[in-house]
Amino acid sequence: MAGDMRSSPPILPSTSNPDAAINHETSINYWSSVSSDVNGMLGGFPQTSRIDLQGSANFLAKLRRKHKQVQQSRSQTEGGITESTSVGQELGLMERVADCGAGIGRITKGFLLGVGKSVDVVEPVKKFTDELVKSLDEEKEENGSKSKGEVNEVINLGLQDWTPSPGKYNLIWNQWCLGHLTDAQLVAYLKRCKDGLVDSSSSTEAWIVVKENMASGVQDIYDEEDSSVTRTDQKFRKLFSQAGLQIVATEVQRGFPRELFAVRMYALRPE
């Protein structure tokens, strides 16, 4: 489910493990009640969408350029011949991308269709994916075909129930949705995502990206309204390690209003 931008959800003081209070039915009911537009997806902060998408695009572009430079250097060290890669060189489209907790496809349409030939959408709330399909059909009628990717599969499942096909994806993007999984569910989910990446031991591009709100204190924060948890950076790092993933790049999203949670991006690959 697409997450929101609220900054001060209530803490449950009696819960030592806030994620234990997560209830998927409550989460679905909440998201089914919000409007199927950018304002609904971003919890009343639609003006942050452009900044968010640009920050994500910059993060992924830097990640991909660094990967290409490493592969180029490795090839030269091994005596191979390779073309030079300038910083501004066109990166091209990845083969297969997944947008997880996609909502109405704000990230799919505003970002991922520009980096992947084929984008699969995973979202449990069907009214959101219906809106996505409708908007894509309308854009196609108005503008015709464009030189970018296309939405392939639309999967109406919660992330706790989704298992990506082994070796399928170059990029699995998770944004403002992992707070609806318990710690144990998140570790299990990330392990399945790890198996869903193309062979990351090769030179192929393959990452899981997590972009989520960060709790600023030492304890995760539970939000009763949508039954989600905002985790600390320390907790995320612990869960990534338990899933057998290493952080290859991370940075904080810049440009959001100060009253909102800090948002951090992590690029992950198998250890």
- Taking phi first (over 0 means left), then psi (-120 to 50 degrees means alpha), and beta for anything else, what does residue 174 get? beta
Measuring CA to CA, which residue among 103, 110, 162, 158 is closest to residue 129?
103
Q: Which amino acid is at 226?
A: D
- Does 242 carry a binding-site annotation? no
113 assigned ligand-binding residue? no
d(C-alpha 263, C-alpha 254), whole Å: 8
**Calpha distance 227→22 (Å, rounded):** 5
Q: Which pair of structure tokens corresponds to residue 127?
A: 């009214």
Task: Label the pairing between strands 116-122 and 207-214.
Answer: unpaired
User: Is 159 assigned a ligand-binding role in the annotation?
Assistant: yes
Quick count: other Cβ atoms within 10 Å of Cβ 82? Answer: 12
Residues in binding site for S-adenosyl-L-methionine? 101, 106, 159-160, 175
Residues in binding site? 101, 106, 159-160, 175
